[in-house]
Amino acid sequence: MSDAIVIGGGVMGLATARELRRRGRSVTLLERAQPGRAASWASAGIVSDPIGSGDEPDFLLEQLSRRLWPDFAEELHEESGLDPELRETGCLIPAFDAGAARDLERVVRARLIPGGKLLRGAELREAEPALGPAVVAGCWRPGGNVENRRVCKALEISARRAGVEIVTGAEVRGLIVEGDRVVGARLVDGSRLAEHVIVAAGAWSSQIEGCRPVVPVVPQRGQILAVDRGAVSLRQVILTPNDPYLVPRADGRIVVGATRELAGWDPAPTAGGIAHLLARAIEVVPALASCSIDQIWTGFRPLSPDGVPIVGPGALEGLWFVTGHGPSGIGPLPGTIALLAALLFDEDPPIPPEPFSPLRFA
């Protein structure tokens, strides 16, 4: 019997398990396949300053995470020997006509993009020489990316080294409940007992039987690809309104993502999805047209009905959730874990926890 069972080995489950172990708890992580091979692997790993107003829950979570990322990445590097490649490249939101440029200017003036700066003409071309003529202005803002596949691996190594028991091929069917308390997890082949059970099963979180409440997370499919950049020198993350985004990686790839589709569980990339991403990306950076395609893949984002992550205690004693991050689950990672850990250990939470409560679905 361990103090805690974590269901799911994506970034949320791995980072939760690592944090609990660092705080002295014995932890078993149950992963039905391999850790870090679902949405957390499929991601583009963009980590940027939040947009919007300072009293929205997402804004506060992302702001907190931005503060925590540098130390989080450094510690992971030290513990695992693997650099998660947190790179502060800056992000650029392009505008394609005068109207869109004016809109961007208004948003910048209203200070809804912290650190945002409108660039035009020579200043814009100098900041990002790879941009094509279709881009008439751009808003630069602080941000960058991590290599999310390295983050997953580093978290796994770090958690294992700290003493987390990671069980692969361990598919959880449901919770074991006694009265109003959860006492363990029922697997396809056997069971595990623990004082606390933390559901971090990503897009599959609603499928764990016996959860109270049932968190109504649905899969949002993202089609995404990477090209070998060749001679294309892209300096920063480009975030076009309504996608795609372009993310330059340290290893010479440029990641181009991603569609946002409610398409059930079909993992196959479609010709239409990939054509859409590439056509738009080439409009932004014409030189991409000559790049060779490195890889095409899909992933399922765990989408919550209100778009706000689900973090905190459930309606059974000992039951916790950390899921529902949708399109932003790598950027807000360190803040999410800080919030969950504070709630688990009865400490003052770093941001107001109520908007994230799973009990809003009770």
Ligand X SMILES: Cc1cc2nc3c(=O)[nH]c(=O)nc-3n(C[C@H](O)[C@H](O)[C@H](O)COP(=O)(O)OP(=O)(O)OC[C@H]3O[C@@H](n4cnc5c(N)ncnc54)[C@H](O)[C@@H]3O)c2cc1C
Binders of ligand X in range 164-193 (CB under 6 A)? 171-172
- Which range touches ligand X (CB under 6 A), out of 1-9, 113-121, 154-162, 313-321? 1-9
Could you tell me how many residues of this chain bind ligand X (CB under 6 A)?
A: 43
Instruction: Note whether 40 binds ligand X by CB under 6 A.
Output: yes
Q: How far apart are CA 90 and CA 106, in angstroms?
A: 20
Question: Which residues, numbered 231-290, are part of the site for ligand X (CB under 6 A)?
Answer: 257-258
Which positions from 287 through 316 interact with ligand X, judged by CB under 6 A? 299, 301-302
User: Using the rule CB under 6 A, which residue among 224, 225, 226, 344 binds ligand X?
Assistant: 224
- Could you tell me which of 175, 190, 166, 191 has the C-alpha nearest to residue 28? 166
Q: Which of 4, 6, 11, 225 binds ligand X (CB under 6 A)?
A: 11
CA distance 303 to 315: 21
Shortest Å distance, C-beta 11 to ligand X: 5
Contact flag: residue 328 with ligand X (CB under 6 A): yes
Task: Decide if residue 323 touches ligand X (CB under 6 A).
Answer: yes
334 binds ligand X (CB under 6 A): no
Using the rule CB under 6 A, which residue among 4, 7, 61, 211 binds ligand X?
7
Q: Name the burial class of residue 154, with classes exposed (0-12), middle (13-18) and buried (19+) by CB atoms within 10 angstroms of its CB.
A: buried
CB closer to ligand X out of 110 and 279: 279
Among 219, 248, 313, 327, binds ligand X (CB under 6 A): 327
Does 51 engage in binding with ligand X (CB under 6 A)? no
In the list 4, 6, 9, 95, the residue contacting ligand X (rule: CB under 6 A) is: 9
Binding of ligand X at residue 215 (CB under 6 A)? no
Among 20, 39, 155, 227, binds ligand X (CB under 6 A): 39
**Closer CB to ligand X, 204 or 320, in the complex:** 204
Nearer residue to ligand X within complex by CB, 37 or 125: 37
Q: Which residue, 124 or 332, has its beta carbon nearer to ligand X?
A: 332
Amino acid letter, 84: P
Q: Which of 42, 61, 155, 234 binds ligand X (CB under 6 A)?
A: 42
Which stretches of the chain bind ligand X, using CB under 6 A? 7-13, 30-33, 37-40, 42-46, 171-172, 200-204, 208, 222, 224, 257-258, 299, 301-302, 323, 325-331
